[in-house]
Amino acid sequence: MAAYLPTKRLFIGLEIPESCRETLASLDPQIKGLRWVAAEQLHLTMSFLGNVAVSSIESLKQALAQVSVPPFFLPIVGVGTFGGARPSVVWAGIGKGHPHLFALHRRIQDAVLRENLEQDLKPFLPHITLSRARDVAPSALKPFLREYAEAEFGLWKVNSFTLFSSLLGSEGSAYTIEHVTELP
């Protein structure tokens, strides 16, 4: 019989300043079928790791502490959806992105790989998930998307990234900060 290894569901993300989170949370258009993300859970996911053995977390923290890019500013601009004709996610964008953001993503992925953990192989499409959508007609979202397509929701200085654990629940996920890595 195989031994049970305790795991935690992990991801690496950027924490958004409270003022920007409150602004984004206040956008909720109250459309049936949209489950808006609570302000305290808004973040930008850099890498989803899934279930990781608890015994591997300390060495992962050490590997992440070696990741280095200069601090940089990111704007939060516009809204959109993923899911095509049947939207599944409403998101806020981060403008045209920033070269340091993509460098940070690449270095985080390298650190994860050095720890022999499963890399997030999905293309990196940086965004902030605002809502999960279930059976929402695209026509119901159009006015909201049109109103905020080019809206600016703030600018923030990215000077750290965070290793989070995530516990799935009936009301969505609950996040716990496991480790914060400051950028130099």
Q: What is the pLDDT of residues 78-133, one digit of tens each?
A: 999 999 888 999 999 998 778 999 999 999 999 999 999 987 788 899 999 999 99
Contact predicate 162/41, CB 8 Å:
no
Contact predicate 178/10, CB 8 Å:
yes
Examine the pLDDT at 152 and tell me if it is beyond 90.
Answer: yes
pLDDT for 155 equals 94
Q: On the CB side of 32, how many CA atoms lie within 13 Å of its CA? A: 2
In a domain, 168, yes or no: yes
In a domain, 12, yes or no: yes
In a domain, 167, yes or no: yes
pLDDT for 106 equals 96
What digits encode the pLDDT tens for the residues 46-69?
A: 999 999 999 999 999 999 999 999
What digits encode the pLDDT tens for the residues 7-46?
A: 999 999 999 999 999 999 999 999 999 999 999 999 999 9
In a domain, 66, yes or no: yes
Residue from 73, 64, 87 nearest 139 by CA = 87
Interaxial angle between packed helices 99-114 and 57-65, expressed in degrees from 0 to 180 and rounded to the nearest 10? 140
In a domain, 36, yes or no: yes
In a domain, 2, yes or no: no
Query: For the chain, what is the domain count?
Result: 1
Cα 167–172–174 angle (5° rounding)?
35
Tell me how far apart the 2 most distant CA atoms of the chain are, in Å: 58
Name the residue range of residue 41's domain.
Answer: 7-182
Instruction: Give the CATH number of the domain where residue 140 resides.
Output: 3.90.1140.10
pTM of the model: 0.92
Cα distance between residue 72 and residue 94, in whole Å: 13
In a domain, 30, yes or no: yes
Examine the pLDDT at 2 and tell me if it is beyond 70.
Answer: no
